Chain A
Amino acid sequence: MALEQIAEATAMPSEREVQNRLSMVVFSGDMDRLMAAFIIATGAAASGMDVTMFFTFWGLQAIKKQTPTGRSLFGRMLGVFLKDIHGVGPSKMNFGGLGRWMFKKMMKAHNVTSLPELRQLAAELGVRMLACQMSMEVMEIRREDLIDEVQDVVGVATFLEEASRSKITLFI
Chain B
Amino acid sequence: MEVKADLTLDLKGLLCPMPVVKINQAIKNVPIGGIIEAYATDPGVMADIPAWCRSTGNELVTIEKQDKVIRFVVRRLK
Chain A partners chain B:
yes
For chain A, residues 26 to 53, give those with C-beta under 8 angstroms from any C-beta of chain B: 39, 42-43, 46-49
- Number of residues on chain B facing chain A (CB within 8 A): 15
Q: Which residue of A lies closest to B18 (CB)?
A: A113
Q: Separation in Å of the A94 CB from the closest CB of chain B? A: 23
Question: Given contacts A46-B20, A46-B21, are A113 and B15 in contact (CB under 8 A)?
Answer: yes
Cβ-based interface call for B66 (8 A)? no
A121 and B21: CB pair below 8 A? yes
- Given contact pairs A46-B52, A47-B52, A48-B56, A125 touches B21 in the complex (Cβ within 8 A): yes
| Chain A, Cβ-Cβ closest to B15 | A112
Question: By the criterion CB–CB under 8 Å, are A47 and B16 in contact?
Answer: no
Q: Roughly how many angstroms separate A43 CA and B24 CA in the complex, as a whole number?
A: 10
Q: Does A110 contact B (CB under 8 A)?
A: yes
A116 to chain B, nearest CB (A): 15
Contacts of A48 in B (CB 8 A): 24, 55-56
- 8 Å CB contact of A111 from B13, B17, B20: B13
Identify which of B15, B25, B55 contacts A110 (C-beta below 8 A): B15
Q: Is B14 an interface residue, CB under 8 A from the partner?
A: yes
- CB of B15 within 8 A of CB of A111, answer yes
Tell me if B55 and A39 are in contact (CB < 8 A).
Answer: no
Q: Give 1 or 0 for each of A103-122: 1 = CB within 8 Å of chain B CB.
A: 00000001111000010010
CB contacts under 8 Å to B, within A47-76, are 47-49
Candidate in A48, A49, A125 with the most chain B CB atoms within 10 angstroms: A48
Q: Which of A47, A48, A110, A112 has the most CB of B within 10 A?
A: A47
Distance in angstroms between the alpha carbons of A43 and B22 in the assembled complex: 10
* Residues in chain B near residue A49, CB distance under 8 A: 55
| Interface residues in B1-46 (C-beta closer than 8 Å to A) | 13-18, 20-21, 23-25
The verdict on A43 contacting B21 (CB below 8 Å), with A48-B55, A48-B56 known, is yes
5 A/B residue pairs, CB under 8 Å, sorted by A: A39-B17, A42-B21, A43-B16, A46-B21, A47-B56
Interface residues of B (CB under 8 A from A): 13-18, 20-21, 23-25, 51-52, 55-56
> A46-B23, A46-B25 are known contacts; what are 17 more A-B pairs with Cβ within 8 Å?
A42-B17, A43-B16, A43-B17, A43-B20, A43-B21, A46-B21, A47-B20, A47-B52, A48-B24, A48-B55, A48-B56, A49-B55, A111-B15, A112-B15, A113-B17, A113-B18, A121-B21
